Amino acid sequence: MKQNEIGVVTGLAWTPVGGEVLFIEATIMKGKGGLSLTGQLGDVMKESVHAALSYIRTRAVELHLSEDFYSNMDIHVHVPAGAIPKDGPSAGVTMATALVSALTKTPVKKDVAMTGEITLRGKVLPIGGLKEKILAAIRLGIVTIIIPEQNRKDIEDVPRHILKKVKIVYASTIDDVLKVALEKYPPTPPGTVKNMPPKTKAHTTRVLVSSRKGIVAGAKV
């Protein structure tokens, strides 16, 4: 990604020939609670999307969403490279981040990538293929990689000269992920005016302007 975007997250995957980068997209439209999943996703990956959405629905208040937000919108999750089948649970945190970003209209940082399975309680579970995934992220120019806390011990298998190129963040919960991946978390409540200057007391400066006929007072600056 060239810039921070809403609903677009960089995920990491393992393949028999090495690590790969997945860009997961989520978008929101007016609707009646529909959920579309495209990009040749396998059953396990589809289940990750449902788990992520269920977790978000339990956190609606904290995310400044209405409790029934899901009933008046349609959600579409897509993973590009649609000709290639994709499956596995390790995209769970990526799916959750894309959904939270789209629902709260909060951009995702372009230089952050992630991997991790999630539970309905928002826990982040360990994954496999860590070394290959880190190498794939470095090839893309990623500077921060979020991995499950339970994979901390597996970092020992990654050469030190490789780890010097990135910052590794360990996550135990999806909140840990969102705090690093999103531009702002918790998100700003809707209707909040951003970047307003602090209120100051209004005042009028009185200036004396000279003229040939005398002094004129009261000009406002």
Higher pLDDT, 189 or 112: 112
User: Which DSSP state fits 133?
Assistant: H
User: Which DSSP state fits 70?
Assistant: G
Over the range 44-71, which residues count as b (16 or more CB within 10 Å of their CB) and which as e? ebeebbebbbebbeeeeeebbbeeebbe
Q: How confident is the model at residue 202 (pLDDT cuts 50, 70, 90)?
A: very low
Q: What is the mean pLDDT of residues 23-40?
A: 95
Q: What is the mean pLDDT of residues 104-110?
A: 96
Identify any residues that bridge with 210 across adjacent strands, giving them in sequence order.
215
66 in active site? no
Q: What is the mean pLDDT of residues 96-122?
A: 97
Q: What is the mean pLDDT of residues 78-84?
A: 86
CA dist 220 and 210 (Å) reads 15
Residue 63 lies in a domain: yes
Residue 197 lies in a domain: no
Residue 104 lies in a domain: yes
Which position among 48, 90, 109, 123 bears the catalytic label?
Answer: 90
Find where tokens 């000709």 sit. Answer: 83
Q: How confident is the model at residue 220 (pLDDT cuts 50, 70, 90)?
A: very low
Q: Among 178, 38, 139, 151, which residue's Cα sits nearest to residue 90?
A: 151
Cβ atoms within 10 Å, residue 29: 10
Q: What is the mean pLDDT of residues 71-94?
A: 92
First to last CA, the chain: 47
Residue 194 lies in a domain: no
Total tally of structural domains belonging to the chain: 1
Q: Which domain, by its residues, includes 10? A: 5-189
CATH number for position 84: 3.30.230.10
CB–CB of 215/209 below 8 Å? yes
**The predicted structure's pLDDT at residue 221:** 28
Sign of the alpha-carbon torsion through 52, 146, 12, 22 = positive
**The predicted structure's pLDDT at residue 189:** 82
Residue 206 lies in a domain: no
Q: What are the backbone dihedrals phi and psi of residue 169, each rounded to the nearest 5 degrees, phi first? A: -115, 130
Rounded alpha-carbon distances, angstroms, from residue 107 to 31, 91, 172: 23, 19, 22
Q: How confident is the model at residue 83 (pLDDT cuts 50, 70, 90)?
A: confident
Residue 219 lies in a domain: no
pTM (two decimals): 0.84
Looking at 25-29, 45-49, 136-140, 209-213, which range is the least confident one?
209-213
Higher pLDDT, 202 or 54: 54
CB–CB of 5/108 below 8 Å? yes
32 in active site? no
Calculate ∠ Cα 51-191-4, nearest 5°: 55
**The predicted structure's pLDDT at residue 93:** 97
Which position among 86, 109, 123, 133 bears the catalytic label?
Answer: 133
Interval 110-156: pLDDT, tens: 999 999 999 999 999 999 999 999 999 999 999 999 999 999 999 99
> Token digits for 15?
């393949």
Over the range 164-182, which residues count as b (16 or more CB within 10 Å of their CB) and which as e? eebeebebebbebbbebbb
Can the peptide bond before residue 186 be classed as cis, meaning omega within 30 degrees of 0? yes
Residue 12 lies in a domain: yes
**The predicted structure's pLDDT at residue 196:** 54
Q: What are the backbone dihedrals phi and psi of residue 204, each rounded to the nearest 5 degrees, phi first? A: -120, 130
Q: How confident is the model at residue 38 (pLDDT cuts 50, 70, 90)?
A: very high
Mean pLDDT of the chain: 87
Residue 198 lies in a domain: no
